[in-house]
Structure 1
Amino acid sequence: MKKKWKLALALSICLSMLAVSGCGGGSNSGNASGGSTSGGNASTDSGVNYEPYGKYDETVEFTIGRHTNHVNNLPEGDTIENNLATRYVESRVNVRAKVAWETDDMKQKLSLSMTTSDLPDVMLVDRELFNQLVDNDLIADMTEVYEKTASSGVKEFYSSYGDLLLDQVTVDGKIMGLPMTNIGNQHQLLWVRKDWVDKVGAELPKTLDDVWNLARTFIEKDVSGTGETGGFVMDQNAMNFSPVFAVYNAFPTQWITNEEGKVVYGSVQPEMKEALQDLSDRYKEGLIDKQFVIRSNEEKEALVIDGKVGMLFNPWWIGYTNYKDSIKQTPEAEWVAVSAPVDDNGKFKTIRQDPVGGGIVVVKKSYPHPEAIMKSINLTTDFLYSLTDDAVNYKKEHPDELLTDNSRWNNDPTQIPMQVDYNDVLKRYYEDIIKADEAGDESIIQADRIVSLRAYQEFKEKGNDVDVNTYGEYISRIEGQREANNPNLEVILGGFYGTTETMKLKWANLEKMEEETILKIIMGEAPISEFDKFVETWHRTGGDEILAEING
């Protein structure tokens, strides 16, 4: 991991005092005996039970600071601390979580907790807070705990990222936190109305010229029949058009590694100019929605739902957005995903997003049983993803205690609300559905994937006559996941994912300047030469300082 950036002196002193004081979060964790379950021999060291599923003879408690849960879909009488998911962990390893507090602003709350010597035993923090806690020696080294106590399921999830994931939380060779995962292949795909393509006698696009030509054809032939057929909808910051930029080998908003091995910022590289000029030309021509900057998300969605736009960029999970409602308005709509445009080498390029998603679980250094936290994560992961027969059977044995809205279990009511998954889970998930469908046997896949399998089978039988939620499940889990793993995909690792000291002070202004410049150029409100002025100003007003910090 990159060098951790130091705190301001006052905060450093305050946190150092906290480290010395060793103030706890009110847990009763000291009463654990370190005994194992009757079903296996727990590996113990100085009374510590490292067995991944080893059950303590006496209850081990920990406190946790949590984001406020605003959705209550728990059965009557159940709470965040006491529900089917938490009871499963308690019944198997005798580990119990107590909520120290809930908040809508984790950063502010944890900052206050640090200054008042009131840290909970477990925290889910962002990179900035993680760095602060590491720098001030306030959190536990989890290396031995991970190696000895992490379940095979959790280790398989983490290892699917190679070294990329754990490198983000490793400091001086020590694993200092357990990251939530941001799965791979969540890049923008080109979604196209295939029925429109057939109607105008065209083919699905491959190159950038193909993409623009198809948009042009849709508009010229008013394929919607509304007299208002439009081109592409675009996000207000234009970043959903990353596939277009990538054709020019441009990667705005991304830290990338250049040919010399140095980290550079994609938005200020010379390749950006040609991409911006192209987008500006297409905007002027009318292939991009002229009002994209002022449209609300609802208005943008309405253009698609009402059948006036037949092409847009969106990741695989489009079916979990309002776009799925398009089949209500136009039952004949046939949406397909395409990995386009490709570059001159036939590659569809994207930058790997930050592998850490949602935060990092850290344990207070003075907490005596960090291995208990790993056990909780083991069992929670088994429960959420139905990884073991035991977890599957437990849920079957308690049908009246499941979530009240009949959804698949989410991670919010669990002891530690973290989510981990395979880097290539989209490929695994898709292949599992197809395999089970071909075999005619849903019992051969994880229980949490059966809803997707059934949606696929219902869609094959009824087509767009299914309800919109079933359609959304189908279009994401079949169309989206399949195309997210197209063989022509080229994933480029990001050069840097963190935050530096100068970024804390200057990034907001740099980001605002960048967004304004890109939008003005695309909309023709500024000439392409404005890009050169932006690059010079970016380097002079903080960019060079940030680059120096990143490259060390």
Structure 2
Amino acid sequence: MHKRSKIASLLMACMVLVVFSGCSGGNSDNAQPQISEQDYEPYGKYETPVEFTIGRNTNHVNNLPPGDTIEDNLATRYVEDRVNVKAKVAWETDDMDQKLSLSMTTGELPDVMLVSREIFNQLVDNDLIADMTEVYEKTASEGVKNIYGSYGDLLLDQVKVDGKIMGLPMTNIGNQHQLLWIRKDWVDKVGAKLPETAEDVWNLARTFVEKDVSGTGKTVGMVMDSNAMNFSPMFATHGAFPTNWIEKDGQVVYGSVQPEMKQALAEVSAMYKEGLIDKQFAVRSSEEKEALVINGQAGIVFNPWWIGYTNYKDSIKQNPEAVWVAVSAPLDQDGKFRTIRQDPVGGGIVVVNKNFAHPEAIMKSVNLTTDFLYSLTDDAINYKKEHPDEMLTDASRWNNDPTQIPMQVDYDDVLKRYYEDLMKADESGDASAVQEDRVVSFKAYQEFKEKGNAVDVNTYGEYLSRIEGQREANNPNLEVTPAGFYGTTETMKLKWANLQKLEEETILKIIMGQAPIDEFDTFVDTWKRTGGDEITEEVNEMAQR
């Protein structure tokens, strides 16, 4: 080869290397420095700043003090001050999946990303993210490890590939199942008792309607969501678990196409025909459904423990005498209130670019952010007390938007821990014993005990969720079954949307009497032939890995 050609070839090779090494936002594998044991310390401070870039969802609510930004606020300054780790926003987007898909094709990935399961799988398949196993084992704080450990193997197993931890999952806490919320003042008014069985529930709805207990002439028996899925406790009494993958006879099957579902639909359809379920549930907007409860037309509704954080709390404005209680009903024939464990991964998975030089720095940021949000350490508590003028306008445990990595992690059984913390302080009369981030709930409870419904609606909502809701979410009759599968298969990406549409339309038609109950058999056959069987096979293959 001619000497000039050789030089040109070498230059071209160098340019290619520069382009590819510059795409990742970090150092290449060959250029990565050795991570020292001191660097792995959960709270070890770097001598020189370590900066990482992050792709974020757009923050549309500014609850920061004047002068503060997403990159520079009390939460981020705490991490910078303690471990010398700084975050820089690479970009913000309203469509994370689309943005990351584009970034993968261009090679312009930030150092840290909060991704969906689908994008997570793509990043793993393309070998673009770091193995976080050693980082987690050495650098995760005791607080974070305790939180993750509360899920047993259920949580981290969702982000393991060939036994390696490839991401840090956000958590979806346990016991967020549907509870039966009832107007206790209505129950007393008609001389009834709180229900236990499905028959009790239907009888109470029947009584409310027949006696027009609302006094409006338009009393509604039960309020149902437009897709009927808030009625999952009713389905569960038949052993039916729609929209969930469950284990049955040694295989993972889809709950919506099991014979038990047909039995449940027959019962619900009969009750709809009788007028015990809102006749217009399928066409009502969320606001219209809420209005039935707020305006005092309905006194029975299924909703999780957090009902007090919805507009339902406004019912005491219209009906100051309203007394709402949560009940674990209906029970099945064994006296159990059955539910399926929701996906333990909630909100996404934090992953680190494979070429980022200090993945352990990301773990340190998560450690300190978790301490900060939940006041887990004296250091975090004191830091916030030392900077009272810099506090976020919303200082709740859920406000993770301003943090370096906006991820939320919490104990699987946090509702039990939270409730017992409040009850212990209430019994002792020692408010100082309440965990810092729970003080607002304790104060709301004390005010409600003193004033009843005369409190403002936000205080009432806090009481309703944190006392009434959390208590019942941990009812001793509760029986929680893990789902058989939580992920997404290849065929799901292509066919699941159509199968879901078919399922929802069939269920609504049967409930509303627009199709006979035997239409369920036709639905099951169509579901299986048009992708269901193929997806079920894939699910079982993935569940056995």
The correspondence for 1:306, drawn from 295, 305, 317, is 295
Look up the SS of the partner of 1:361 in the other structure: strand
The answer to whether structure 1 residue 236 and structure 2 residue 235 are counterparts is no
The answer to whether the 8 A contact 1:18-1:117 is kept is no
The correspondence for 1:247, drawn from 221, 233, 237, is 237
The correspondence for 1:517, drawn from 506, 512, 515, is 506
The correspondence for 1:94, drawn from 84, 96, 101, is 84
The answer to whether structure 1 residue 21 and structure 2 residue 20 are counterparts is yes
1:141 and 1:266 mapped to 2: Cα distance?
Answer: 34
1:293 and 1:19 mapped to 2: Cα distance?
Answer: 58
Letter of the structure 1 residue corresponding to residue 283 of structure 2:
I
1:164 and 1:474 mapped to 2: Cα distance?
Answer: 31
The answer to whether the 8 A contact 2:38-2:44 is kept is no
Look up the SS of the partner of 2:155 in the other structure: helix
1:512 and 1:110 mapped to 2: Cα distance?
Answer: 27
The answer to whether the 8 A contact 1:233-1:312 is kept is yes
Deviation at 1:20, TM superposition (A): 10
Cross-structure match for 2:138: 148
The answer to whether the 8 A contact 2:245-2:486 is kept is yes
1:282 and 1:299 mapped to 2: Cα distance?
Answer: 21
The correspondence for 1:384, drawn from 362, 368, 373, is 373
Superposed CA deviations along residues 354-388 of structure 1, whole A, max 9, x for unmatched, are 00000000000010100000000000000000000
Letter of the structure 2 residue corresponding to residue 403 of structure 1:
L
Deviation at 1:23, TM superposition (A): 3.5
The answer to whether structure 1 residue 278 and structure 2 residue 267 are counterparts is yes
The correspondence for 1:413, drawn from 395, 399, 402, is 402
1:18 and 1:540 mapped to 2: Cα distance?
Answer: 49
Provide TM-score, normalisation by structure 1: 0.93
The answer to whether structure 1 residue 105 and structure 2 residue 95 are counterparts is yes
The correspondence of residues 473-552 of structure 1 with structure 2, limited to 5 A, is: 473-552=462-541
The answer to whether structure 1 residue 182 and structure 2 residue 172 are counterparts is yes
2:316 and 2:484 mapped to 1: Cα distance?
Answer: 41
1:233 and 1:19 mapped to 2: Cα distance?
Answer: 61
1:405–1:445 Cα change, 3 Å? closer
Q: Alignment identity in percent?
A: 79
Letter of the structure 1 residue corresponding to residue 214 of structure 2:
S
Residue segments in structure 1 that go unaligned for 5+ positions in a row: 1-16, 35-43
The answer to whether the 8 A contact 1:318-1:475 is kept is yes
Deviation at 1:155, TM superposition (A): 0.2
1:20 and 1:162 mapped to 2: Cα distance?
Answer: 43
2:416 and 2:473 mapped to 1: Cα distance?
Answer: 8
The answer to whether the 8 A contact 1:24-1:366 is kept is no
Cross-structure match for 1:114: 104
The correspondence of residues 33-52 of structure 1 with structure 2, limited to 5 A, is: 45-46=35-36, 49-52=39-42
Residue segments in structure 2 that go unaligned for 5+ positions in a row: 1-15
Cross-structure match for 2:153: 163
Look up the SS of the partner of 1:161 in the other structure: coil
Ranges of 4+ aligned residues in structure 1 off by more than 2 Å:
17-30, 44-48, 404-409
1:479–1:18 Cα change, 3 Å? farther
1:130 and 1:549 mapped to 2: Cα distance?
Answer: 18
Deviation at 1:445, TM superposition (A): 2.2
Deviation at 1:27, TM superposition (A): 5.9
Deviation at 1:408, TM superposition (A): 5.5
1:111–1:329 Cα change, 3 Å? same
Deviation at 1:446, TM superposition (A): 1.4
* Cα RMSD (Å): 1.9
1:21 and 1:29 mapped to 2: Cα distance?
Answer: 9
Deviation at 1:212, TM superposition (A): 0.2
Deviation at 1:224, TM superposition (A): 0.9
2:271 and 2:441 mapped to 1: Cα distance?
Answer: 38
Cross-structure match for 1:226: 216
The answer to whether the 8 A contact 2:139-2:360 is kept is yes
Superposed CA deviations along residues 498-547 of structure 1, whole A, max 9, x for unmatched, are 00000000000000000000000000000001000000000000001101
2:234 and 2:497 mapped to 1: Cα distance?
Answer: 25
Cross-structure match for 2:247: 257
Deviation at 1:21, TM superposition (A): 2.9
Look up the SS of the partner of 1:263 in the other structure: strand
The answer to whether the 8 A contact 1:28-1:61 is kept is no
The correspondence for 2:364, drawn from 372, 375, 395, is 375
The answer to whether the 8 A contact 1:28-1:62 is kept is no
2:224 and 2:413 mapped to 1: Cα distance?
Answer: 28
The answer to whether the 8 A contact 1:231-1:311 is kept is yes
Letter of the structure 2 residue corresponding to residue 105 of structure 1:
D
Deviation at 1:441, TM superposition (A): 1.6
Deviation at 1:438, TM superposition (A): 1.3
Cross-structure match for 1:194: 184
Deviation at 1:548, TM superposition (A): 1.0
Cross-structure match for 1:7: none
Deviation at 1:113, TM superposition (A): 0.6
The answer to whether structure 1 residue 329 and structure 2 residue 310 are counterparts is no
Deviation at 1:122, TM superposition (A): 0.3
The correspondence of residues 290-369 of structure 1 with structure 2, limited to 5 A, is: 290-369=279-358
Provide TM-score, normalisation by structure 2: 0.94
Deviation at 1:496, TM superposition (A): 0.4
The answer to whether the 8 A contact 1:66-1:124 is kept is yes
Letter of the structure 2 residue corresponding to residue 118 of structure 1:
E
1:388–1:47 Cα change, 3 Å? closer
The answer to whether the 8 A contact 1:24-1:121 is kept is no
